[in-house]
A and B are shown apart, each in its own frame.
Chain A
């Protein structure tokens, strides 16, 4: 890039940095003897802005004209079924994890969290990755699932296995409810409305105190039992506890491992369901609709039904995950369902490569584990997280796994 152009771009970047840095870094609320006072740190701002200017200038001079940053890496050519192999290895690892030396309480709890996000990612992948409908309010369905499990279990004492399908159905109904008004919207407009919908659900939960407990949330949500055998050291008379059933020592880890396998199974269910759907006409219609709506209609595909089904099914899995979340935590409040959650789930789908099932797993592991591993750097955690995201987007702008698997091959039974 010629010097004047690089200089201009660097000045622009420095200007943006300045505008952001003055309010964010320049002022600081300090606790002085006379009470609160505003301190200024314009030297910091100057350093930051200079760094942006120099960095951008160097980058601009190094970079070819009009070419994207030369960082993008090509994946080495992998054997055709490498991703299947990798997925299999991951699956087996996940299956045995609790019984390996790694499987202590902390790790298994963390793995449960990762799996919840994998499941949410797979659910949202139906809507965003396959059907191409940008949904920024997915967390609403997670909330619907969580609250419906919590309310049915607390008020009617219904078991997890009864509440799970109810949570799924209710979430799916909310999916359709959201789907109807947004059928005609696309792109940015769709994103805004879904974002509003997500917030709406949260605000309702926050304010409808008699129903949802408001900001205090719902407590003492029944914990799951092993098909009727509870995980307690001292079961009530007449009940058999899980450890008695199998003649084991009681250990709090047993319930955690059970939860782990529960979410593992739910996530796998989501995955197999999606893989199956991709081979059915309706699943292929999701993908086709993302590419060209007019062409779809010319082929006899009714976009209304197809979009609604994507919203409903994606929401259903969000609802399942929500029910699991509620029973795992034993406590839920609107706090857990704010926009950041939707953003993280969406980031998982986008980072994973929009539509790639394996990509979702890798991205979920990454997005959940990185902040966890960075715990020691607590102050800089979010900065490093953001930095990592930027790097990934530079390296793999298509997402981690950008390759799209064809849904059929002739010869092989589709």
Chain B
């Protein structure tokens, strides 16, 4: 199988700070891939670099056989890459419905109502709160909205940055179940950044461990879960 996304020796800098020091990873079509690592390891930077903000200083990013290294963030959706960025970044003054609609900004108007139905089936909570201002929703609801909004563009590849951040354990399980459903039922390939290594690795087909801007380890989700070093570093305290 050829990779849907392959990142080849990518470096990224913020001024003098080198946040990524030659990262390579691949994501195959239909997979869920988890990227785990400590705070400041460069996980968010990697997701943003895939999308061209910041641009990769070195290396290549290939998506669906096409070199997208220099492409702008706002041209990613056209290629079929959707992102739910770090910190949710929903539009707080707009209603839930309007937020979802923004997700379909480039999409075909005719698909809109059908896609909204699908989103509301996936996240019944959002259906109840269609007309609520997004900024007044709870953190978990906002997270669902951020994912739903990204899905509204009908992506082939979905990039999620810490979807479980700040959620209660029950909601974490629910969000991960939803991600699996998005992957299985809708065939969306997912690259997932997570602090919550236990859930992320259980969900993912494969995982990568990022340390200080470099890939330190990779393997199937299960093999990483079983690795003693990983258990010590990321899974201390049981099921995170």
Contact = CB atoms under 8 A, between A and B. Distances in A.
A334 B98 CA distance: 43
B184 interface: no
A285 B105 contact: yes
Q: How large is the interface on A (under 10, 10 to 19, 20 to 34, 35 or more residues)?
A: 20 to 34
Given A291-B93, A291-B94, A297 B101 contact: no
Interface stretch (B1-9, B19-27, B68-76, B164-172): B68-76
A248 interface: no
A300 B77 contact: yes
A292 B91 contact: yes
Interface in B54-91: 72-78, 82-85, 89-91
B165 to A, nearest CB: 16
B193 to A, nearest CB: 14
Interface residues of B, number: 34
Contacts of B82: 298-299
Interface string B102-141: 1101100000010010000000000000110000000000
A287 B82 CA distance: 21
Contact of A299 (B72, B130, B153): B153
A301 B93 contact: no
B133 to A, nearest CB: 8
Contacts of B92: 291
A295 B74 contact: no
Contacts of A301: 74, 102, 105
Given A300-B106, A301-B105, A295 B98 contact: no
A302 interface: yes
B201 to A, nearest CB: 26
Interface in A234-250: none
A300 B75 contact: yes
B98 A406 contact: yes
A296 B51 CA distance: 13
Given A300-B106, A302-B74, A295 B97 contact: no
A299 B98 contact: no
Contacts of A285: 102, 105
Contact of A287 (B76, B94, B153): B94
A408 B102 CA distance: 12
B53 interface: yes
B91 A408 contact: no
Contact of A297 (B74, B91, B98): B74
A410 B130 CA distance: 9
B149 interface: yes
B45 interface: no
B85 A299 contact: no
Contacts of A303: 74
Interface of A: 281, 284-285, 287-288, 291-292, 294-303, 404, 406-410
Given A281-B105, A296-B74, A298-B84, 17 more contacts: A284-B101, A288-B91, A288-B94, A291-B92, A291-B93, A291-B94, A292-B91, A294-B89, A297-B72, A298-B73, A298-B150, A299-B150, A300-B75, A300-B153, A301-B74, A410-B97, A410-B113
